[in-house]
Amino acid sequence: MDLRLLAATPTDVEQDAVDSVIGLPEDRDGDRIDQAVGRVALGGHQVRAERHLLLPALHSLRNARGWISEGGLGYVCERLTIPPAEAYGVATFYSLLGFEERPDRMVHVCDDIMCVGRSEATITRLEAEGVSVARSPCLGGCWSPPATLEDAVGSTFASGSDTPPVPQEPNGLRLLRRVGVVDPTSIGDYQEHGGFSALRRARELGPEEVLNELERSNLRGRGGAAFPIAVKWRGVRAAEGAVKHVIANGDESEPGTFKDRVLMEADPFALIEGLLIAAEATAATKAWIYVRAEYPTAIERLGTAIAAIEAAGLHDDLDIEIRVGAGAYICGEETSLFASIEGQRGEPRQKPPFPTTSGLFLQPTAINNIETLVAVLEVIEQGATAFAAVGTKDSTGPKLFSVSGDVHRPGVYELPFGTPLGELIALAGGARGQIGAVLLGGAAGTFIGPGDLNFELSIEGATGVGAMLGSGAVMVFNDSTDFGAIVRRIAAFFRDESCGKCVPCRIGTVRQEEALIRLADGNVIDSVESELRLLADIDAVMTDASICGLGRTAAAAVRSAIALELAGVIT
Amino acid sequence: MTDITLSIDGKTIAVPQGASILDACRTLEIDTPTLCFTETLEPAYACRACVVEVGPGALIPACARQVEEGMEVSTASERVIRSRRMVFELLGSATNLERADDDILRWNDSLGATKDRFGLPTKARERTAPHPGHHSPARAGDAESIQEPVKIEDDLYVRDYSACILCFRCVDACGEQHQNTFAIATAGRGFNARISTEFDFALPDSACVYCGNCIAVCPTGALVGKIQWDLRLEGQWNPSRQETKRSVCGYCGVGCNLEITTQDGRIVEVGSPADHDVTLGNLCIKGRFGWQFVYADE
């Protein structure tokens, strides 16, 4: 590949940062740079196959210097044979990577759905202290708003909040039974609390019987799409390809959702155990865990856990790599996540082909939510019959819910599918004040009015009230809430997080926010009715014609808020 | 190869296996709007102008989906027309489509797209701020647009990104599908996503080799030759006074066919036919621009 590189040179710090990810240049054969013309023909196919190191190298530059300079980006391009325009395109996709000199310390303060309005005092205080503040989408700290993220030059990010609270007693819990009980940094402690018994059992059963057990359990994915696991895994096992992947999707970015954070931070060995079972059942040759950068504790603990599992030889030589996001909600969408790992912009792909045959690097891939992988352990340990005895016919097993907002005990709760929403709210200490509405499923979810709160929390139960369970986010708002501010924040969120690839979402999310602002201001173009027709048209094209789930759900909360006539949306 | 039988708008048709729904629509002469699709490139499936209805789920881009036996496709349902119209309305509300290909203007009109329902478009401003994830909404009542100052950095190209619909054809033509130069890519995110060189360098400072293959595939006039741009500014660009003749490039032995366009007997543009086996519409800098000596004074 004949590339024209950037003229700027890296500093020693930048060069070391990139080399620490890619290796020293002397280690390679075939690196040739023609300094006279500034063009480069580097180590060919072998080097280009390492494009997936682009995002880790960008992270390393950011950690070292705080921002990405021309010299730094140019050096990455030279080492990985990436066209500078493409690398710039990738780097400018992520909100946590910057291109300008910045203060040594910054604090990202969440002003998303649960923190909006509650973050202003913190922002004012920090700014008065001379700290540079960046407003942030949901940081997964909704139980104690506002959530913050420390961002200092010379180190990785640090979360301003602890592991989310689990207010239930551990007795009787399955998915959460080790949370707060086990030492998340100790493989020995994990084993003493029943760790790896599912992996041993799975190895006794063999892949076919594991798949049969999962099919009998009717376990469905916990990330929002509720796809049957057995179907997905069988698809990957049956797909042709010498290299296959399993991925744990820990890019939990749906506002109001922090249940995967609990599992990754407080029981990291469990999801890796689930990933090992997934790899053996699907005949995968490579495993990945993709975690959002906003969860630094999870990243650190998963790294420690992988090292311990490898040292103990439990991984059966499976290569497990952690990949860290860089501030992009869209990268939780499976095909965008593939693109992000591959070192491309985190844009979704048109499906079909589906990941089971054409996923990461266009190879067969099983990608699963964190909670799903932990639920797999339950199926294998207890057996399908016992697992399916909990929950409803179509939604089997236990389910985690992230409860936040106007309740007395926000946190992560585990309940059998089918439990009425009212019961969950009661378990969370009951509402503070009269409930005005519950937002189910986060920004991509649906507002449910106070008259509908006793539906069953199951995939089919949510459909019955015109909602989706989604990721299990339950955000409770009392009747003094300015829902207009919440709805406009949701619209702004989608505008910020749209990747920009398809027309309906790229422009529709902008027009949706603008119309909502006009309605709130009473500054309508023609009439309230014409603005509502406009919103309905934008809703139709985004929901019907967008390339991925982000655009297809970007109007859901707005639509439900208008239908419920929530206060403050239209003035 | 076996044929696949499907029905489109109630008409039954058999097309070869592997054909797309769009191929089948065009075989039936159903006028299907397309923006990111062009015959010589793999589409990005990004514009969503060609969506059709197949069953109850989300609409499907006709260019993206292969035909299946017994498939029932609707291209004229209320859902399809509404989404297609909104694609054109949204683009029109943010983008200058005045110089777009005739087909695009025709589809815009036949769908009844009205771009001014969303407020007054914001005025041109630099759009290079690279930071994604944050924005300040436009002044209440205005519709955020992508209008920005025109980029004129040399004597060959003009880049007027106010007319860019992000079909990504130029990026694909510059990159691995045609030219393998990789001078441009998508940068930024969301509404601020845009076609850019690295660090928004001016084109002469980038990897650009001035083949002009990006200009050849641009459907909206966002990328245009400097001569056409200047004639348009002077009000002198007039397709009705133009004539296009086919020739063969004389610079080397490859045999690239040329389409030489003259206006009032004077060369104004050179391209290559997209259906020519050798070029697929591509040329090098010499073929596309190396004729201007014809009018040199010395």
Measured distance CA(B203)–CA(A532) in Å, rounded: 44
Is residue A39 over pLDDT 60? no
Identify how many contiguous H helices and E strands chain A contains and give both numbers.
23, 16
A134: closest chain B residue by CA: B134
Q: What is the pLDDT of residue B137?
A: 78
B142: closest chain A residue by CA: A514
- Flag if A534 and B118 touch (Cβ within 8 Å): yes
- Flag if A511 and B193 touch (Cβ within 8 Å): no
DSSP helix, strand, coil percent of chain A (3-state; round to 5): 45, 15, 40
Q: Environment class of residue B226 by beta-carbon count within 10 Å: exposed (0-12), middle (13-18) or buried (19+)? A: middle
Element (H, E) at A40: strand A39-40
Distance (Å) of CA B191 to CA A17, A494, B135, B168, B187: 32, 11, 10, 15, 11
Q: How far is A351 from chain B (nearest CA, A)?
A: 9
For residue A85, which residues of chain B lie inside 8 Å, CB to CB?
A: 182-185, 187, 196-198, 206-207
A514 touches chain B (CB under 8 A): yes
Distance (Å) of CA B112 to CA A378, B5, B85, B93: 56, 32, 7, 14
In chain A, positions 534-553, which contact chain B (CB-CB < 8 Å)?
534, 537-538, 540-541, 543-547, 552
Is residue A494 over pLDDT 60? yes
Model confidence at B128, in pLDDT bands (50, 70, 90)? low
Question: Would you list the DSSP string of A406-428?
Answer: SBSS-EEEEEETT-BHHHHHHHT
- Flag if A547 and B197 touch (Cβ within 8 Å): no
Nearest by CB to A544, which of B49, B83, B135?
B83
Q: Residue holding tokens 């399993």?
A: A246
Helix pair angle (A268-282, A207-217), 10° resolution: 110
Measured distance CA(A9)–CA(A36) in Å, rounded: 15
Q: What is the pLDDT of residue A40?
A: 54
Measured distance CA(A177)–CA(A162) in Å, rounded: 18
- Flag if A496 and B134 touch (Cβ within 8 Å): yes
Q: What is the pLDDT of residue A29?
A: 47
Q: Which CATH architecture has domain A390-478?
A: Roll (3.10)
Q: What is the pLDDT of residue A409?
A: 98
Model confidence at A30, in pLDDT bands (50, 70, 90)? very low
**Domain-wise residue ranges, chain B:** 1-123, 146-236, 238-298
For residue A485, which residues of chain B lie inside 8 Å, CB to CB?
A: none
Sequence-ordered list of residues with C-beta below 8 angstroms from that of B219, at least 6 positions apart, any chain: B35, B38, B100, B101, B104, B165, B167, B169
For residue B207, which residues of chain A lie inside 8 Å, CB to CB?
A: 3-4, 83-85
Q: What is the pLDDT of residue A47?
A: 77
For residue B35, which residues of chain A lie inside 8 Å, CB to CB?
A: 503
Nearest by CB to B90, which of A350, A511, A513?
A511
In chain A, positions 334-393, which contact chain B (CB-CB < 8 Å)?
345, 349-350, 352
Q: Environment class of residue B265 by beta-carbon count within 10 Å: exposed (0-12), middle (13-18) or buried (19+)? A: exposed
Domain range B1-123, CATH class: alpha beta
pLDDT digits (tens, 9 = 90+) for A517-532: 999 999 999 999 999 9
Domain A187-388: CATH superfamily is NADH-ubiquinone oxidoreductase 51kDa subunit (3.40.50.11540)
Q: How far is A89 from chain B (nearest CA, A)?
A: 4
Phi-psi region at B251: left, alpha or beta (left = phi > 0; alpha = psi -120 to 50): alpha
- Flag if A6 and B198 touch (Cβ within 8 Å): yes
Fold of A483-563: de novo design (two linked rop proteins) (1.20.1440)
Nearest by CB to B86, which of A83, A502, A537?
A537
Q: What is the pLDDT of residue A411?
A: 98
* Positions of CATH 1.20.1440.230 in chain A: 483-563
B56 touches chain A (CB under 8 A): no
Helix pair angle (A259-266, A268-282), 10° resolution: 100
Model confidence at B131, in pLDDT bands (50, 70, 90)? confident
Measured distance CA(A178)–CA(A448) in Å, rounded: 33
Measured distance CA(B28)–CA(B297) in Å, rounded: 53
Is residue B140 over pLDDT 80? no
Q: What is the pLDDT of residue A123?
A: 96
Mean pLDDT along residues B155-178: 97
pLDDT digits (tens, 9 = 90+) for A296-325: 999 999 999 999 999 999 999 999 999 999
Measured distance CA(A91)–CA(A161) in Å, rounded: 27
- Flag if B206 and A4 touch (Cβ within 8 Å): yes
Q: What is the pLDDT of residue B103?
A: 98
Element (H, E) at A518: helix A503-521
CB A450, CB A437: distance < 8 Å: yes
Q: Which of A346, A140, A373 is nearest to A254 (CA)?
A: A140
For residue B196, which residues of chain A lie inside 8 Å, CB to CB?
A: 85, 88-89
A85 touches chain B (CB under 8 A): yes
Q: What is the pLDDT of residue B150?
A: 97
Is residue A38 over pLDDT 70? no
In chain B, positions 127-166, which contact chain A (CB-CB < 8 Å)?
130-135, 137-138, 140-144, 165-166
Q: Residue holding tokens 């694609």?
A: B87
Mean pLDDT along residues A375-383: 98
Mean pLDDT for chain A overall: 95
Model confidence at A41, in pLDDT bands (50, 70, 90)? low
Nearest by CB to B87, which of A98, A135, A503?
A503
Cis peptide before A146 (omega within 30 of 0): yes
Mean pLDDT along residues A1-16: 91
Measured distance CA(A473)–CA(A413) in Å, rounded: 11
- Flag if A93 and B188 touch (Cβ within 8 Å): yes
For residue A501, which residues of chain B lie inside 8 Å, CB to CB?
A: 44, 46, 166, 193
CB A268, CB A301: distance < 8 Å: yes
pTM: 0.96
Is residue B66 over pLDDT 60? yes
Q: What is the pLDDT of residue A400?
A: 98
A93 touches chain B (CB under 8 A): yes
Q: Is the ipTM of this complex over 0.95?
A: yes
Model confidence at A195, in pLDDT bands (50, 70, 90)? very high
Chain A interface, mutation test: which of B21, B127, B191, most A Cβ atoms within 10 Å? B191
Nearest by CB to B140, which of A518, A541, A547?
A518
A3 touches chain B (CB under 8 A): yes
Mean pLDDT for chain B overall: 95
Nearest by CB to A537, which of B82, B91, B138?
B82
Radius of gyration, CA atoms only, chain A: 24
For residue A492, which residues of chain B lie inside 8 Å, CB to CB?
A: 135, 137
pLDDT digits (tens, 9 = 90+) for B189-237: 999 999 999 999 999 999 999 999 999 999 999 999 999 999 999 999 9
B144: closest chain A residue by CA: A510
Q: What is the pLDDT of residue B130?
A: 56
Q: Which two tokens stand for residue A456?
A: 């069953």
Radius of gyration, CA atoms only, chain B: 21
Measured distance CA(B93)–CA(A101) in Å, rounded: 35
For residue B133, which residues of chain A lie inside 8 Å, CB to CB?
A: 95, 136-137, 327-328, 496-497
Helix pair angle (A556-563, A483-497), 10° resolution: 160
CATH number, span B146-236: 3.30.70.20
- Flag if B135 and A328 touch (Cβ within 8 Å): no
Q: What is the pLDDT of residue B138?
A: 76
B202: closest chain A residue by CA: A85
Distance (Å) of CA B46 to CA A84, A254, A260, A282, B104: 23, 24, 31, 32, 16
CB A345, CB A337: distance < 8 Å: no
pLDDT digits (tens, 9 = 90+) for B238-256: 999 999 999 999 999 999 9
Question: Would you list the DSSP string of A163-198?
Answer: SPP--S-STT-STTTTTTTS-TT-HHHHHHTTTTHH
Domain B238-298: CATH superfamily is ADC-like domains (2.20.25.90)
Q: What is the pLDDT of residue A342?
A: 98
Q: Which two tokens stand for residue B223?
A: 């990328």
Is residue B129 over pLDDT 70? no
